[in-house]
Amino acid sequence: MADLKDIMEDNDFTIHLETLDSVGNQLSRSEIESILTAGGVTIPLTRDVSFIVSTGDNKYFSITYLESIDKYAYEKLTGV
């Protein structure tokens, strides 16, 4: 089975990461990268990648890293 680090560095498809931390309705770059490193991902990312994050306070975010501009774009999702 592939290692999460290899999956995120070598592919562009949705991965689900979980954190027990509570976050606000907006994420900072440091919060996103903290969640990634806790999941075993090496920072900085080297290609475009998308992933879903669920938090300990039942919030969900769809996040995409855009390597060409070195930015994360995210959207808060509604869970039902």
pLDDT > 80? residue 44: yes
CA distance 23 to 42: 22
Which residues neighbour 39 within 8 Å (Cβ) at sequence distance 6 or greater? 4, 17
Q: What is the mean pLDDT of residues 40-47?
A: 90
Q: 71 or 50: whose pLDDT is higher?
A: 71
Q: Across all residues in the chain, what is the average pLDDT?
A: 86
pTM: 0.78
pLDDT > 80? residue 13: no
pLDDT interval class at 10 (50, 70, 90):
low
Q: What is the mean pLDDT of residues 10-23?
A: 76
